[in-house]
Structure formats: C-alpha cells, structure tokens
A and B are shown apart, each in its own frame.
Chain A
C-alpha cells in the first residue's frame, strides 16, 4: 500500500480533499471492511439525488392536474427523461438501505459511545430525514401507488392520541391527501429537506474528524499512511462502482408508475412505502395506542439513549465489543426474526384475543395481550443471557438492539412479500 504514488490533483482540489480528510490516517481505518464505505456512499447518493432532482424539477409540475402527465411526458417525450427518473428512484432506494446499514455498522463496531455520542444523535436525525425525503418524494408522481401509500401513512399519524388529527392535517395541509399535500411534500422534498441535509452533513463530518476519525481499537503504535493516495484511491473506486451499478440498473429497470391517482378507488391491497411496512404490520396486530404511539416512542427513546447507557466493559472500535458480543448479536438476531415471524403467524391464525375476550376493552385484548406475547419471551431470552452466560450490560445492549432491528425486518419482510389481497397471509 505504501508504494502507491499520490494522485496528481490540481492543487485546489488536493487542498479541498485534505480539508475533508486529515493528511495522514491510521492504516486500519483505510481497510474497506472497517466501514464498508457506507457513510461515504450515503453522501455520494445525496449528491446524485441532488443533481438528478434538480434536473427533474425542470419538467415536474407540482399540481394535481399536471403532476402525473408531467411524469408521462418526462418518460415518453424527453431525451434521457426515463433514465433520469430511474436514476433518482434507485439512488433514493439505495440511500435508505445504505444509511440504515451505516447505522447498523456504527452500532456493532462500537463507534457511538463517549465523544461520538453527540454525532450519533445527528446521525439519527439524518436517518429520519432520509426516510422523510423518500416519503415526500413518494407522493410526487401522483399515481395510485403514491396516493394510497401516503393516505395510509398519514392516516396512521391520526392514531396518535390528542395531537394525531391536527398533526396529520398539518402534514397533509388538508384533511385528505390533495393538492395542498402535494405542494407541502414538493416544498419539503425539493427545498427544505436537502437544505437541512447540507447543514447536518457538515456537522456530522466535522464531528467525525473531531472524534479522531473512524473508531478503532487502541493499540501501542498505530501505523500511519498518507490519505492521498491510500484513502482517496479507495473512495474513487467505491464511488465509481456505485455510480456504474446505478447507471446499469437505471438503464434496465424502470421506476414504478401505476395509473393516475384516483381518490375513489383503493387498490387491493394498499400498502405503505416498503420501508414503513414493518410499522404497518405492527398496526395490524396491536391496538393503535400501542402500535402507533407507545412502541414507536419506546423504540425511538431506546435508540436516542443508546450511547448514554452506562456500560462497563466497553471496547471502542471492536466489532461486537467481544467474542461473546458477536455470539449474542448473531443468535439474538436469528431468534428474534424467527420468533416475530412465528408470533405473527399465530396471531393471524390462532391467537384471536379479540374474539376470545370480547367483553374486555380493546386496549387490553388487542393491546396488552399481544404486547406481552412478544415482550415476555423476548425479555426471558435476554435475561437468560444475563443470568446464565454472565453477559455484561454492553452485550445486553447489543442483544436488545439486534432484537429490535431484526423484529422490524421480520415484519417488513412479511408485509412486503407474504401479504396478498386484503393483506391476508399467503400461506
């Protein structure tokens, strides 16, 4: 690695790159499998989305009468119009996946604690904005997919007690999804959210440098290498591969476009955007006070507080903290995925609490009972690690994180692939 010659950039570009990065960094930080380049790829996707998005703005008409037709005109009568829309679509999809993986990576490589805790919060806020940007963009084509997905999600907001309806009306700018909603989403999607991203990304990058770069285990004498060419070279390669893959995908696979939105006909089934499907699945089984309020609040609180839990045997930068942590992470992910899957199957086919206890209030039969049916076995499982295997609280945190993430993925998987007409299970 040391023999490589520095890349000859114009002076200004080299200086700029060396302000983003330090001049020399730890050789271990350059290794691809340390970060998998996930944060960098997310930033690259943001740039691709900005560029394609700005070009798309030239043809898009943000009104109920014009939106769908402007997409058709873009696809059929504009040179590279279809390709441009595909590129924007696939980059956005990839951004959700990659930023999620980035989040998972920093948790499991123990890179969110101590001086990195503050940056974790910025990261979480950006994760929320990635989802918000994708969701606001989802409505813009104004086809059946867009209209009903946004109807379903804004209707979920209405389940929040007291502030739900006014909050949903604020998001929609109206009591139903209509032109006001389109204008709100368009403004957020093409103006406010990208601007917020730039501010937050600047903070995020600066805080990474302030924390001393990528989190690494402490060793005696770390070997230092030049950023140019060692890191720059990998970055250029990764970017080139991602861009090439996106171009190829966009050339062959089209972004979906159904018939124009019709507020009088709901397609069967109507599903929320794919990344929200875990939440929609939860709402099928849990009373809204639990499914739309308590559980999301508790999970959000857990992730916000994650780096601030008092941990004993913390090994910053060590994957899964310890060999035991690795074992716990893998096992609890699998256990939670399978358990969630089986529980949903049972709730759909056998455990009809609502019918068994018709005299009980819904929030017990449809709320507390299924909630306990999940929490008790999972709680017992975590307790088993603590009591029998002497897992420290750092490892227990990893177990809880894995259980939550894996359960969500399990629900998302079921809702996305295994639910057909009328949202019934296909098996």
Chain B
C-alpha cells in the first residue's frame, strides 16, 4: 500500500496531471522589436509578459522576471532598480539583492537577438545565484 502511495505521489509530483495540452514544444518567443529602438541605460517594462527588459550602458540586454524571488509578488521599478511592495526586498539594476528578505537575484528569461530583432524566450524563467556579465546578450 505504502509503495503504491509513494509511486502515486512521485507520479503526481512529476506532473502526472496536465489540464491543458500543449500542442507543440516550441518556445514561446516574444518579439520586442528592433534592438535599435532601445536606448542604453534604460529599463522597459513588459508586465503582461512577466518581464523587465533592460539595456545596459554597454548595449547589453537582460530580461528579468517581474516576480520577487522572496514570495512571488510583482516588483516595482524605482530609481535604484526594483523594489518589492510586499515584504520590502530591494534589487539593483542587475536584479541583484540589495535588501532582504529575498535571497537570490531576479530570475532571467533568455534573450535572443536575430536579424537585429530582440526576442525573449518566455517559456520558463531560470534561476541564478548572482549576476554575471555572460548573462547579457549583445546585438
């Protein structure tokens, strides 16, 4: 009995139920338009697509999730970076934690630049432990 229960638990935790069938495994790419339209040193919110797109001073792009890594509230932009309204976590422009209770930087969405167009893969955010220069994508 316990064995069957354990198997069932594993099946469920592994995602045994799927209520909406995805027809293909294609990435969900969001096209933000031509890279030239984004000026350096500015952050562009794409709230309904769940990310902030930032272009840094050196022209590199970073797409950060709008969700606070503490408990999942939506962070707001402020002059220094991002601030969470729920439990006062603060993040800098690179998404790194400036003030607890959050423990890791804002999650990222992969940015792909094809033919000068900025594409953001919004299929799944990925977690990181710190900001690295290699996370930036250049046109």
Contacts and interface: CB of A to CB of B under 8 A. Distances in A.
A169 B73 contact: no
A366 B104 CA distance: 14
Interface stretch (A133-141, A147-155, A374-382): A147-155
B85 A268 contact: yes
A151 B20 CA distance: 21
B13 A152 contact: no
Interface string A252-276: 0000000000011111111000000
A163 interface: yes
A270 B19 contact: no
Contacts of B88: 422-424
A422 B88 CA distance: 5
B86 A173 contact: no
Contacts of B87: 269-270, 284, 422-423
B19 A173 contact: yes
Contacts, number: 69
Nearest to B103: A362
B74 A266 contact: yes
B100 to A, nearest CB: 6
A183 interface: yes
B21 interface: no
B105 to A, nearest CB: 14
Given A180-B20, A270-B73, A284 B101 contact: yes
Interface size class of B (residues with CB under 8 A): 20 to 34
Contact of B101 (A266, A283, A421): A283
A68 to B, nearest CB: 19
A268 B86 contact: yes
Contacts of B2: none
B116 interface: no
Interface string A148-171: 100110111000000100110110
A226 interface: no
B20 to A, nearest CB: 7
A176 B66 CA distance: 13
B101 A265 contact: no
A263 B74 CA distance: 8
Q: Which of A148, A263, A270 has the most B CB atoms < 10 Å from its CB?
A: A270
A288 interface: yes
B4 interface: no
Contacts of B29: none
B73 A151 contact: yes
Contacts of A152: 71-73, 86
Contacts of B71: 151-152, 155-156, 270
Interface string B1-25: 0000000000011110101100000
A113 B22 CA distance: 53
B48 interface: yes
B5 to A, nearest CB: 15
A266 B83 CA distance: 12
A426 to B, nearest CB: 13
A48 B103 CA distance: 44
28 contacts: A152-B71, A155-B71, A163-B13, A166-B13, A166-B15, A167-B13, A169-B15, A170-B12, A170-B13, A175-B124, A183-B19, A263-B74, A264-B66, A264-B74, A266-B73, A266-B74, A266-B85, A266-B86, A268-B86, A270-B73, A284-B87, A284-B101, A362-B103, A421-B85, A422-B86, A422-B87, A422-B88, A423-B87
Interface of A: 148, 151-152, 154-156, 163, 166-167, 169-170, 173, 175-176, 180, 183, 263-270, 283-284, 287-288, 354, 362, 366, 421-424
The 7 closest A-B pairs by CB, nearest first: A266-B73, A268-B85, A422-B88, A155-B72, A270-B86, A155-B71, A166-B13
Given A152-B72, A156-B71, A287-B103, 18 more contacts: A148-B73, A148-B86, A151-B71, A152-B73, A167-B13, A170-B12, A173-B19, A180-B19, A263-B74, A264-B47, A264-B48, A265-B74, A266-B85, A268-B85, A269-B87, A284-B101, A288-B103, A422-B88
